[in-house]
């Protein structure tokens, strides 16, 4: 039996989820359900998303929509700014850019070089295997992996997860501020609202 509880709406913006027709749909109750595989499931009626307790640093307090300054899950040396990433793109340096936003968001707008691998999928074995396949040649060639999302929170979770699950030889970094920062600082023609 699931337990019905009320949480402040600002704590329910999980990796950009719980949105319907572009509007926040956080009011009301959510169910926190413990599944038989040991994962917690958050269900707000529009989105069901597993939160893996094995990802250290992944808790609801990291998902506040009230703060204009996204929470830092990673250390500064595990992140780069959009300006730094732009230099990498302009230099032609080999790399892989993973966009961890939901597929429906990436279908609307994403950077040309980005490959969409939604966080929800990545956090499962199938998604991890897909990532390993995508990154194999880049890593052999000495390239790096960068991860982006809408505002820089889901991508931090993805980087932390990938660093825990993949080889130490892989350099994986988060892009601070995600597409929101890219739109503000690099290319205003990219609209993500």
Q: Which segments in the chain show pLDDT lower than 50? A: 1-69
- What is the model's pLDDT at position 71? 75
Domain that holds residue 105: 76-185
Using alpha carbons only, what angle is made at residue 179 by residues 39 and 183, rounded to the nearest 5 degrees? 160
CB 120, CB 49: distance < 8 Å: yes
On whether both 105 and 16 belong to a single domain, the answer is no
User: What is the token pair recorded at 186?
Assistant: 């690099």
Angstrom distance (rounded) from CA 112 to CA 138? 17
On whether both 49 and 140 belong to a single domain, the answer is no
- What is the model's pLDDT at position 193? 66
Q: Do the domain assignments include residue 191? A: no
- What is the model's pLDDT at position 72? 85
On whether both 88 and 165 belong to a single domain, the answer is yes
- What is the model's pLDDT at position 109? 93
On whether both 169 and 118 belong to a single domain, the answer is yes
User: The domain that contains 128 carries what CATH number?
Assistant: 3.40.250.10
On whether both 107 and 164 belong to a single domain, the answer is yes
Q: Do the domain assignments include residue 139? A: yes
Question: For the segment 134-152, what is each residue's pLDDT rounded down to a tens digit?
Answer: 999 988 888 999 999 999 9
Nearest to 78, CA basis, from 142, 185, 23, 156: 156
């Amino acid at each position: 039996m699931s337990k019905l509880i009320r949480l402040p709406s600002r704590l329910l913006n999980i990796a950009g989820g719980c949105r319907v027709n572009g509007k926040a749909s956080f009011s009301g109750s959510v169910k926190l359900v413990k599944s038989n595989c040991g994962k917690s499931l958050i269900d707000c009626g529009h989105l069901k998303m597993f939160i893996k307790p094995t990802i250290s640093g992944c808790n609801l307090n990291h998902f506040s929509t009230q703060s204009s300054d996204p929470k830092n899950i990673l250390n500064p040396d595990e992140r780069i700014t959009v300006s730094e990433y732009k230099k990498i793109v302009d230099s032609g340096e080999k790399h892989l850019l993973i966009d961890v936003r939901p597929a429906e968001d990436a279908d609307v707008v994403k950077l040309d070089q980005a490959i969409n691998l939604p966080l929800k999928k990545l956090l499962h074995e199938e998604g991890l295997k897909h990532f390993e396949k995508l990154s194999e040649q880049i890593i052999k060639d000495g390239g790096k992996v960068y991860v982006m999302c809408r505002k820089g929170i889901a991508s931090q979770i993805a980087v932390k997860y990938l660093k825990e699950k993949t080889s130490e030889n892989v350099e994986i970094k988060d892009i601070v501020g995600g597409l929101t920062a890219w739109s503000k600082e690099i290319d205003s023609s990219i609209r993500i609202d």
